Every structure is written in C-alpha cells, then in structure tokens.
Amino acid sequence: MTVLVLGTPDSGKSRFAESIMDELAGEKEKIYIATMIPFGKTGEERIKKHRKMREGKGYLTVECPVDVSDIADDIERIEDKCCLLECLSNLIGNEIHSEGNKGMDDDRLIDKITEDVTALGSKCSHLVIVSNHFPSDDPEYDEDTRRYVRITDLVNKKISLNMDQIYDLTDEG
C-alpha cells in the first residue's frame, strides 16, 4: 500500500503518518527515510524533534537526501519492510539544488523525483510519504521559492496518481 500525507508545515502530518505506519507495519520492520539536510539551527531542531517523536517506536533511520530509489539497494530485503519517506518536499528541495541535477529542466526534474519515489514504493511492502503543501501565491516568495513551490505542487499531484490512499491535513492545523 502507498499512502500520501499532505499538509502545511506543523500541521501534524508526521505524527499522523507515523500512526498510519504503525498500523500498516504490524510486525514488519519500519524504515524511516530521512531526507532533510540540516541547514542552520532551525533544521537541526526540526531533526531533533522528529527523532524524539520516533524514539522507542522501532524505526531504523536511513538518511537519504537525494535519489531515494537507490536506498532499496542498501537495505536488505526491503520488500519485507515498511518505509516512511519524511519528507517529500525536503527531497524536492534537495533534488532541485543537487549538483547532479544542475541544468535539468523542471519537467525532467519532476519526472525524476516522481520516478524515484514510485520505484521506492514498488520495492517495499508499504510506503507512507509525508509532503508539504504551500500557498502558491505568497507575494514574499523570491523566484527560487516560487519555483520550489511550483515543483513541489506538481510532484505532489503526479505522485497522487499512484497512491492507494491520500490524506490532506492542510486545513487541520
């Protein structure tokens, strides 16, 4: 089963996704695929918060900021495991700024990210994906942020086509 949990930052999507993971996993091993690269104190604090939330819940954490389809090669018998991808929007930002993707047009980048996530989902027993939803019309956005928000929205929409279940916590807070 593949599940997408969408929401604004701090909407409770991570906690909700973990509860889904616990239900789906049963006795299967749970892999937490951490995509965040900690930039500055805020990033480090966010990572600490998420580690504390997972404490004692039986997750094996795998750091994977780009190319998530490759981790299946690094995890023994991933088809017997349940994976939580936290967070797709971080992955998107990392892929946008990755040296390996410099010069790639947005359509190809969107396809690459979608294909990588879809490939990961096809290799594990269950995949739960957490992603952010951002307002697309904030006048404070610079050009780079507008591009990131647009790409994130398009990847979320494209990924949604392959999901068994979608939860949108955007209005839940």
Backbone angles phi, psi at 130, to 5 degrees: -105, 135
Can you tell me whether residue 43 is helix, strand or coil?
helix
Q: How many CB atoms lie within 10 A of CB 122?
A: 13
Helix (H, G, I), strand (E, B) or coil at 68: helix
CATH fold of 2-168 reads Rossmann fold (3.40.50)
Question: What 3-state DSSP class applies to 39?
Answer: coil
Quick check: pTM over 0.85? yes
> Phi and psi for 142 in degrees, rounded to 5?
-85, 180
Distance CA 98, CA 172 (A): 33
Q: At residue 165, what are phi and psi to the nearest 5 degrees?
A: -145, 140
CA 60 to the chain's CA centroid: 16
pLDDT in 10s for each residue of the chain, 173 residues:
999 999 998 889 989 999 999 999 998 999 999 998 877 787 678 777 767 777 778 888 888 999 998 887 777 667 788 999 999 999 999 999 999 999 899 999 999 999 999 999 988 999 999 999 998 888 999 999 999 999 999 999 999 999 999 999 986 54
The C-alpha angle 31, 122, 89, rounded to 5 degrees, equals 60
Query: Structural domain boundaries of the chain?
Result: 2-168
